[in-house]
Amino acid sequence: MLAAIVSVDPFPETAAPGRSTAFLVLTAFLVTFLFIRTSARLIRNPNVTWWPGNVESGDLHIHHLVWGICLVLIAGFLGFAANLQTPWWHISAIAFGIGAGLTIDEFALWLYLRDVYWAQEGRLSVDAGVIATVFAVLVVLGTKPFGLDEPESVLATAVLVLQAVALSVIAFLKGRYVIGVVTLFVPFWGLVALLRLAKPNSPWARWRYRGARAGRLVRARARFRQDRLSVTLSDRLVAATTGLSDSDHAPDGPPSD
């Protein structure tokens, strides 16, 4: 995987977009996501007085989500409407990646329509960032969506696409989000998710693990215990990137930029 990414030339002598442009989008996204997370932590820290504060207009706090949406719209419109040449494809890709990073970092705000950046719900933004990164990495690696490596008939293509989408939806409903994204490119992993237990708090578990299937819910709770090493390490990583601990339930500092 690393060799495939490294082999991508981010500045090819071509005016057409492709894996190289996707690599620039991914890089800009990751750098921006990590930067804005770090910036928000520094703004929240009362001991860091030298770091620039939030962007405000009077009493109005302007979230970085706003700048992200503007960048995504501008870069996306130019990508569709303008006949861009090198290096403008690359500049547009970098702008799109920066906008996506700023926007995905506040994904939880989209969902809840309130500032939950420092609340427990704010962890969804990190999850969204991970899913977006997995998707972008698969594109950069040149993986064909829906497992379509060779041209097929219209009917065969439709069947393969529907199969991949159906398996991906099931994986998402089971709470296996990363596998759901990977399934769009490698449908085999959707079969793995189909056969495995759903996470106990997932929609699939709520809808399906009742009555005669109640035993599966017990097994799922035992399988996805909160004291597992992987969960502990994941919580520590999320706490390090978000500034949240398990005891946090509401914002206790100023809004993030």
- Do 154 and 90 lie in one domain? The reply is no
For residues 210 and 115, membership in a common domain is answered with: no
Looking at the fold, whether 4 and 116 belong to one and the same domain comes out as: yes
* Distance in angstroms (rounded) separating the CA atoms of residues 173 and 159: 21
pLDDT score, position 151: 56
Of 196, 215, 235, which one is at a domain's C-terminal end? 196
Q: Which of 203, 208, 195, 211 is nearest to 174 (CA)?
A: 203
Query: pTM for the full model?
Result: 0.76
pLDDT at 72: 95
Q: Check whether residue 61 and residue 136 sit in a common domain.
A: yes
| 29, part of any domain | yes
Residues 41 and 92 in one domain: yes
Same domain, 41 and 115: yes
Residues 106 and 223 in one domain: no
For tokens 């040149």, the residue is: 142
Tell whether the torsion through CA atoms of 93, 95, 97 and 99 is positive or negative: negative
Residue 255 lies in a domain: no
Residue 104 to residue 114: CA distance in whole angstroms: 15
Look at residues 98, 116, 142 and tell me which one is the last residue of a structural domain.
Answer: 142
Q: What is the mean pLDDT of residues 122-127?
A: 86
Q: Kindly state whether residue 232 falls inside one of the protein's structural domains.
A: yes
10 and 21 part of one domain: yes
CA-closest candidate to residue 63, choices 125, 131, 148:
125
pLDDT of residue 242: 63
- For residue 121, pLDDT beyond 60: yes
Q: Could you tell me which of 118, 156, 134, 142 has the C-alpha nearest to residue 40?
A: 118
Judge whether 256 lies within some domain. no
Beta bridge partners of 56: 61
Q: For residue 70, is it within any domain?
A: yes
Closest CA to 251 of 87, 44, 104: 44
89 shares a domain with 14: yes
The 10s digit of each residue's pLDDT in 73-107 is 999 998 888 887 777 888 999 999 999 999 999 99
Q: Is residue 116 part of a domain?
A: yes
Same domain, 125 and 4: yes
Residue position matching structure tokens 């930029």: 257
pLDDT reported for residue 223: 86
In a domain, 227, yes or no: yes
Stated as kind and residue range, the H or E segment containing 156 is helix 154-173
Domain count, the chain: 3
Statement to judge: residues 130 and 166 lie in one domain: no
Domain residues for the domain of 211 are: 200-246
Say what the pLDDT of residue 252 is: 43
Q: Domain check: are 50 and 110 in the same one?
A: yes
Higher pLDDT, 14 or 251: 14
Answer yes or no: is 163 within a domain.
Answer: yes
21 band by pLDDT with thresholds 50, 70 and 90:
confident
For residue 174, what pLDDT is reported?
94
Q: What is the DSSP letter of 50?
A: S
**Of 245 and 134, the one with more pLDDT:** 134
The residue out of 142, 160, 184 marking a domain boundary is 142
The residue type found at 29 is F
Using only C-alpha atoms, what is the Rg of the chain?
A: 21
Rounded CA separation 91/97 (Å)? 10
What confidence tier does 153 reach under pLDDT thresholds 50, 70, 90?
Answer: low
The token duo for 86 is 């090198």
